[in-house]
Amino acid sequence: MTEHIVSGDGSLLLCNPAIDGVQAAWLDPQFWGERARPVAVGGRGGASFVDADIGELVLRQYLRGGFMARIAHRSYVFTGFSRCRSLREFRLLQRLRELGLPVPEPVAALAERSGLFTCRAAILLRRIPEALPLPASPALHEPQLWQRVGAQLAAFHAAGLDHVDLNCDNVLHAPDGIWLIDFDRCRLRPPARRWQRANLERLQRSVVKRCGALSERQRESLWAQLLRGYQAACE
């Protein structure tokens, strides 16, 4: 998939050329009105499900967290369009899909100047049908699910994806398999055990925090199944 670039006065819009009629207004939740509803779990907020004419979408604005959110909730220091987070994530998703990996289809990404040295950003994606975050999966207690998660993570790692925010809310279970989402600040890099292990350790901490339906013994057993699936896929 190639990208269609629309530049404007202080803004840059990347569009999926396979989707007609995309416009910058689509990246503003107010444009959708009651057709947009907040995502209930995961992230820092700023994400909405959108009931669009072209299907179910996810609109995510890039928000600051922590102390800086009190100063500038949506604005970031502008260092050039080539480094804007929304545009980088859009292009990374394009590449991952070209590699055949299960990630959302990007619809559009917008970066716009909001001041002399700041910018705002947003990305629009197709929603994965019937997908649930790992903690909400009805199959959460099943070893086979965790083995499938491990095998899919191994495939991403083999492709060189360093998912810097790999938590269980970014692992989705859908009828057609396991998907990853939220690739802000992620990148492709040469495979190496150090960063791959860091990804898995981050996910494990998230499982302890978010999978409250599991006892400690269950978590340990199911995590072992994830590692089993991961190792089997690496062989």
Quote the CA–CA distance of 231 and 74 in Å, as a whole number.
40
Of residues 165, 169, 176, 184, which has the active-site annotation? 165
Rounded to a whole number, what is the distance in angstroms from the first to the last CA of the chain? Answer: 31
Length of the chain: 235
Give me 206's structure tokens. Answer: 């998230």
In this structure, what is the dihedral angle of CA atoms 148, 149, 154, 159, given to the nearest 10 degrees? 110
User: Are the CB atoms for 123 and 106 separated by under 8 Å?
Assistant: yes
Known catalytic residue: 165?
yes
Radius of gyration, alpha carbons of the chain? 18
Which residue has tokens 């978010």? 210
Q: What phi-psi label fits residue 8: left (phi over 0), alpha (psi between -120 and 50 degrees) or beta?
A: beta
CA 135 to chain CA mean position, Å: 16
Is 169:134 a contact under the CB 8 Å cutoff?
A: yes
How open is the CA angle 211-48-71, to the nearest 5 degrees?
90
**Looking at the annotation, which residues are catalytic?**
165
